[in-house]
């Protein structure tokens, strides 16, 4: 266990230093400089209402206006009729000389506003050209620290698709939080402790095939684990043996710890392969084992504070909090539980990293666990100033079948990824015959990985998600490859034009589809903030798909190469370059890469 502590210690120090530095020096992109904010600010000055008291919205397609503002909230605050307010404010806008607003009309409780397009959009395109891969980022939360707990696979078990969702969602949230100015601590709370290790060690000692173990340790451990449960049905006394082993392990038995640490090492190196494929890295790997000692102290504290009590018949330590089912902190046999260690972890995080928030990207099925844990943390003051949130998500199924270990439908992550890449390859080879074999390899890897990640993130996380290969690799829409393909098309147009430099002096547009595309891009920094606020990466995905649709609409309507007017052509080039940047930045937030061509 000391070994674990030492390894954790270094990473903890490094992370603490980074936080201190980040908080001191974080500059980031100033949100107030974005065109969208300038517009909002100008509107707030005319209306004499703080910009926090209303939101600018993109009206639905059938309403022919540039922006709309819902006045329900504001009217409620002012205790006036929203329709009257809309009329009053529309007059105000129309009468005030200003940079951005052409005209305003009241439509029921909404204020519909038309922009001075030629003034607004050049501002936006310059902004994108200047910020490039930083467009969309902001400094709004620059003084905040967030700990994100995600992935958390269990050692000595294969990395199943179950943990994939946590990994993908947690990583997207880490990117999104960071993009809005947060200092993010990415912690992998490995499942590396618990009674199952008693069982595993028992099985390993008694039945392990050393040759097979050397060859494929994870598979062998899995076989051993299954065998333990089968044997225990016939001979329940081995359950007691296993429990004793785990007890000894918790007490620090050297020889058992050695075996355990072998399992841990093997597993982590397996997991790292997956993380590498996904392009993910963590600050710390503070698994459950790291918190066993602290968990013991917590039990004592809960007893002292009379929050927990000893069951007179079993000797177990239980907690009962109002409105929640009671739960154990210590078992009858004296060992700690998942929740005890999780509580110790939360206490540690609050103390060590001083975050404003801690997020747990863990399946919805653990929602009671988190309710109980957060409630007890509150009672004991372990999360003061640190808002702990459970970011739950639904189950995953493949072609309609729920995945389960028992039924053997638990698809291994490796298999899933391999399958996705193979399918991407098939499609690529049939669609684009000009690609070299090397290009096909490289692109299908990016497209295949992107399909798996994006399929998860484009759906609201609370839903159960399914894998439908056809949809996941559909070039026509609703997939990562649709967005990747859109960027690839833009790249190829730019290449045909010899990668022109765009002079962003006077920008003119002509078509509605151009304005619509530019306006949509203007909203990107807001969307990132919204996705952060709602812990919903899918808002970014939905936005990107709408943006790509607007691009395709525009692209079908105009020929850039055929645009004779020099100024207009350059404006259009700037527009498509910007589109590629925004899609790229959005996909980067989701953890999806883009190939140069498809
Ligand atoms: N290892 C756990 C499991 O597989 C997930 C850990 C989630 N994180 C946490 N702090 N509980 O269920």
pLDDT-derived band at 190 (thresholds 50, 70, 90) equals very high
Residue nearest to atom 7 of ligand 1 (CA): 152
**Predicted local confidence at residue 400, as pLDDT:** 60
The rounded Å distance from CA 222 to ligand 1 centre is 19
Ramachandran sector of residue 323 (left: φ over 0; alpha: ψ -120 to 50; beta: rest): left
Candidates 192, 200, 358; CA nearest to 271 is: 192
User: Looking at residue 38, what DSSP letter applies?
Assistant: H
The Cα 399–Cα 72 span in angstroms is: 44
**38, pLDDT greater than 90:** yes
**Which of the residue ranges 51-60, 205-214, 407-416 would you say has the lowest mean pLDDT?**
407-416
CA 342 to ligand 1 centroid distance, Å: 9
Q: What is the mean pLDDT of residues 440-444?
A: 95
Alpha carbon 320 to chain centroid, angstroms: 33
Whether residue 550 contacts residue 156, with contact meaning beta carbons closer than 8 Å, is answered with no
Atom of ligand 1 nearest to the CA of 370: 11
The 3-class secondary structure across 366-397, one letter per residue, is HHHHHHHHHHHHHHHCCCCCCEEEEECCCCEE
Q: How far is the CA of 288 from the centre of ligand 1 (A)?
A: 9
Torsional class of 81: left (φ above 0), alpha (ψ -120 to 50), beta (otherwise) = beta
**pLDDT band for position 410 (50/70/90)?**
low
The contacts of residue 505 (CB under 8 Å, 6+ apart) are none
DSSP 3-state of 475: coil
For 178: left if phi > 0, alpha if psi spans -120 to 50, otherwise beta; the answer is alpha
Instruction: Select from 146, 60, 84, 49 the least CA-distant residue to 385.
Output: 146
- Enumerate the β-bridge partners of residue 101: 115
pLDDT of residue 534: 97
Check pLDDT > 60 for residue 407.
no
2 pLDDT higher than 70: no
**CA dist 58 to 27, 67, 337, 516, 517, Å?**
29, 5, 49, 10, 12
Radius of gyration of the chain (CA): 28
- Distance from the CA of 287 to the center of ligand 1, in angstroms? 9
Atom of ligand 1 nearest to the CA of 366: 12
Q: Are 584 and 136 in contact (CB under 8 A)?
A: no
pLDDT, position 6: 57
Ligand 1 — pocket residues by CB below 6 A? 149, 152, 154, 189, 191, 342, 345, 360, 362
Q: Which residue has the higher pLDDT, 498 or 138?
A: 138
Distance of CA 153 from the midpoint of ligand 1 (Å): 7
Cβ contact 596:510 at 8 Å: no
User: How far does residue 146's CA lie from ligand 1's centre (Å)?
Assistant: 18
Torsional sign, CA 568, 570, 573, 577? negative
Q: How far is the CA of 156 from the centre of ligand 1 (A)?
A: 14
146 forms bridges with which residues in the sheet? 184, 357
Q: How far is the CA of 152 from the centre of ligand 1 (A)?
A: 5
Q: Which has the closest alpha carbon to 393: 368, 369, 431, 364?
A: 364
Q: Does 392 score more than 90 pLDDT?
A: yes
pLDDT of 450 reads 97
374 and 358 in contact (C-beta within 8 Å)? no
For 213-235, what is each residue's pLDDT tens digit?
999 898 899 899 999 999 999 99
What is the per-residue DSSP string for 289-329?
GGGHHHHHHHHHHHHHTTSEEE-TTT--EEE--TTS--EEE
- Count of helices and strands (H, E) across the chain: 22, 14
Cα of 479 to ligand 1 centre, how many Å?
A: 29
Q: Which residues, other chains included, contact 430 with Cβ-Cβ below 8 Å and sequence gap of 6+?
A: none
Atom of ligand 1 nearest to the CA of 190: 1
In this structure, the residue with its CA closest to atom 6 of ligand 1 is 152
**Is residue 197 over pLDDT 80?**
yes
Whose C-alpha lies nearest to ligand 1, atom 11? Answer: 342
Atom of ligand 1 nearest to the CA of 362: 7
Out of 284, 343, 362, 377, mutate this one to test ligand 1's pocket (max ligand atoms within 8 Å of CB): namely 362
What's residue 411's pLDDT?
64
pLDDT in tens, 508-529: 888 999 999 999 999 999 999 9
**pLDDT computed for residue 119 by the predictor:** 87
Choose one of 162, 187, 366, 413 to mutate for the ligand 1 pocket test, by most ligand atoms within 8 angstroms of C-beta. Answer: 366
**Residue 358 exposure: Cα atoms within 13 Å on the Cβ side:** 27
Calpha distance 559→573 (Å, rounded): 11
Q: What pLDDT is recorded for position 114?
A: 96
Cβ-contact 423, 398 below 8 angstroms: no
> Residue 26: its pLDDT value, please?
75
For residue 342, which atom of ligand 1 is closest to its CA?
A: 10
| Sign of the CA dihedral with 117 first, then 122, 127, and 128 last | positive
Q: Between residues 574 and 465, which one has the greater pLDDT?
A: 574
Question: What's the gap in Å between 190 CA and the centre of ligand 1?
Answer: 7
Nearest ligand 1 atom, CA 338: 11
pLDDT tens track for 253-280: 999 999 999 999 999 988 998 899 899 9
Average pLDDT for residues 104-125, to the nearest whole number?
93
For 531-585, what is each residue's pLDDT tens digit? 999 999 999 999 999 999 999 999 999 999 899 998 899 899 999 999 999 999 9
The atom of ligand 1 lying closest to the CA of 346 is 10
What is the model's pLDDT at position 406?
Answer: 45
Mean pLDDT calculated for residue range 226-250: 94
Using the atom order of ligand 1, give the atom closest to the CA of residue 363.
12
Q: How far is the CA of 532 from the centre of ligand 1 (A)?
A: 22
Ligand 1 atom at minimal distance to the Cα of residue 369 = 11
Ligand 1 centroid distance, CA of 259 (Å): 22
Question: What is d(CA 213, CA 220) in angstroms, rounded to the nearest whole number?
Answer: 5
Mutate to test the pocket of ligand 1, among 166, 189, 285, 338 (most ligand atoms within 8 A of CB): 189
Predicted confidence at residue 28, as pLDDT, reads: 87
Gap between the terminal Cα atoms of the chain? 49
Instruction: List C-alpha distances in Å: 453 to 253, 284, 416, 593.
Output: 42, 23, 11, 10
**DSSP code for 109:** T
Quote the pLDDT of residue 409: 52
d(CA 333, CA 407): 32
Which helix (H) or strand (E) is 469 found in, with range?
helix 469-472
For residue 596, the CA-to-ligand 1 centroid distance in Å is: 37
Tokens of 337: 């539980």
Distance of alpha carbon 348 from alpha carbon 370, whole angstroms: 16
Ligand 1 binding pocket mutation candidate from 150, 151, 152 (most atoms within 8 A of CB):
152
8-state DSSP, 53: G
């Amino acid at each position: 266990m000391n070994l674990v502590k030492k390894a954790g210690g270094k990473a903890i120090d490094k992370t603490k230093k980074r936080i201190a530095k980040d908080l001191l020096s974080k500059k980031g992109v100033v949100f107030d400089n974005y065109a969208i904010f300038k517009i909002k600010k100008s509107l707030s000055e005319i209306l004499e209402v703080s910009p926090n008291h209303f939101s600018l919205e993109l009206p639905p397609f059938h309403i022919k206006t540039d922006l709309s503002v819902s006045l329900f909230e504001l009217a409620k605050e002012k205790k006036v009729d929203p329709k009257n307010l809309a009329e009053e404010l529309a007059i105000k806008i129309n009468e005030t000389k200003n940079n951005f607003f052409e005209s305003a009309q009241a439509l029921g409780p909404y204020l519909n506003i038309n922009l001075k397009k030629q003034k607004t959009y050049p501002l936006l395109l310059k902004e994108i050209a200047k910020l490039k891969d930083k467009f969309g980022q902001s400094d709004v939360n620059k003084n905040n620290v967030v700990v994100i707990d995600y992935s958390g696979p269990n050692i000595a078990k294969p990395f199943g698709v179950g943990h994939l969702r946590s990994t993908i969602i947690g990583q997207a949230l880490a990117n999104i939080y960071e993009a809005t100015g947060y200092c993010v601590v990415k912690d992998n709370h490995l499942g590396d402790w618990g009674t199952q290790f008693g069982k595993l060690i028992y099985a390993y000692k008694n039945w392990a095939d050393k040759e097979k173990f050397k060859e494929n340790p994870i598979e062998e451990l899995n076989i051993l684990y299954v065998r333990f449960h089968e044997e225990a049905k016939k001979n329940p006394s081995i359950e007691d043996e296993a429990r004793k082993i785990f007890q000894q392990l918790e007490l620090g038995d050297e020889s058992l710890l050695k075996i355990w640490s072998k399992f841990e090492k093997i597993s982590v190196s397996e997991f790292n392969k997956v993380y590498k494929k996904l392009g993910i890295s963590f600050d710390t790997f503070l698994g459950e084992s790291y918190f066993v000692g602290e968990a013991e102290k917590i039990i004592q504290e809960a007893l002292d504070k009379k929050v927990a009590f000893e069951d007179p018949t079993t000797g177990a330590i239980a907690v009962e909090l109002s409105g929640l089912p009671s739960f154990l902190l210590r078992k009858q046999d004296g060992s700690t539980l998942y929740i005890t260690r999780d509580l110790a972890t939360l206490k540690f995080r609050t103390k060590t990293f001083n975050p404003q928030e801690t997020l747990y990207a863990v399946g919805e099925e653990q929602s009671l666990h988190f309710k109980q844990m957060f409630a007890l943390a509150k009672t004991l003051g372990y999360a003061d100033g640190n808002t702990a949130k459970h970011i739950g998500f639904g189950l995953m199924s493949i072609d309609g079948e729920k995945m389960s270990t028992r039924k053997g439908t638990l698809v291994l992550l490796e298999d899933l990824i391999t399958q996705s890449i193979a399918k991407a390859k098939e499609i690529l080879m049939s669609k684009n015959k000009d690609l070299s074999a090397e290009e096909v390899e490289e692109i299908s890897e990016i497209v295949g990985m992107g399909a798996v990640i994006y399929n998860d993130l484009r759906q609201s996380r609370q839903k159960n998600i399914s894998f439908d290969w056809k949809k996941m690799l559909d070039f026509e829409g609703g997939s990562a490859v649709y967005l990747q393909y859109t960027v690839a098309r833009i790249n190829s147009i730019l290449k045909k034009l010899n990668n022109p430099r765009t002079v962003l002096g006077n920008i003119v547009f002509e078509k509605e589809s151009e304005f619509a595309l530019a306006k949509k891009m203007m909203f990107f920094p807001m969307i990132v903030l919204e996705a952060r606020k709602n812990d919903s990466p899918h808002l970014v995905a939905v936005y990107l798909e709408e943006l790509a649709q607007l691009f395709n609409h525009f692209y079908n309507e105009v020929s850039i190469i055929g645009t004779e007017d020099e100024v207009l052509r350059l404006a259009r080039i700037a527009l498509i370059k910007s589109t590629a940047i925004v899609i790229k930045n959005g996909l980067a937030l989701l953890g999806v890469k883009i190939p140069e061509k498809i």
